[in-house]
Amino acid sequence: MNNDFTSTYEYTVEQKPEGKFRFMKFAFISLYILYPVIFMAILFIIQLFQLFALVAVTEWMLVYFTWKYTKPEYEYSVTSGRVTFSVIHGKRSRKEMLNFAIKDCLQIAPATEREWVERLELYDPELVFSAVASSESPDRYYAAFENEDGKRCVFHFEATEKMLKLCRNYNSSHTVVTKVRY
């Protein structure tokens, strides 16, 4: 195992179907059922039977371009003390959402313990980023910091032993380490 802190560490989690993602799945499935029915009804009313073949093609396009948003993956990587957070949709498109230095964090603590959650509430973040699979994850941590614009930000993430070691290495005075699963 490489213990070099300058190497890149990456961790990826899949979003569990809860909250808005469960609703999105239901809404998209409803759309996928209603769309061809309505499209075919309109074509039948205006008697353009030749265009019925378009229903299958446009339905496929609709599913291909929308279903990927129902189950995103969250990836965070640490390289030389900088955290990069990206969202990956459908294993095809990646969008970088956040980039910050661990040394700039004001607090890195568990988001499952009352004391640290109360401190987070007092911090009153303006921007919140989440890289957790579920709101019920036992390894939820947060990193509180200010971005380049001076806004108070919080990054929620699934902590691993390696990530906590990196956080302690780059910002030991503001990192709280607890036992995690991985």
pTM beyond 0.85: the answer is no
Q: Each residue of 163-172: pLDDT tens digit?
A: 889 888 888 8
Q: What mean pLDDT is predicted for residues 115-120?
A: 85
Give me the DSSP letters along 58-96. HHHHHHHHHGGGGS-EEEEEEETTEEEEEEEETTTEEEE
Q: Each residue of 122-143: pLDDT tens digit?
A: 888 889 998 888 888 888 999 9
Rounded Cα gap, residues 153 and 171, in angstroms: 17
Q: Strands, DSSP E only, in the chain? A: 9-14, 73-79, 82-89, 93-101, 107-110, 127-131, 140-146, 152-158
CB 79 within 8 A of CB 11: no
Structure confidence at residue 136 (pLDDT): 84
Q: What mean pLDDT is predicted for residues 2-27?
A: 80
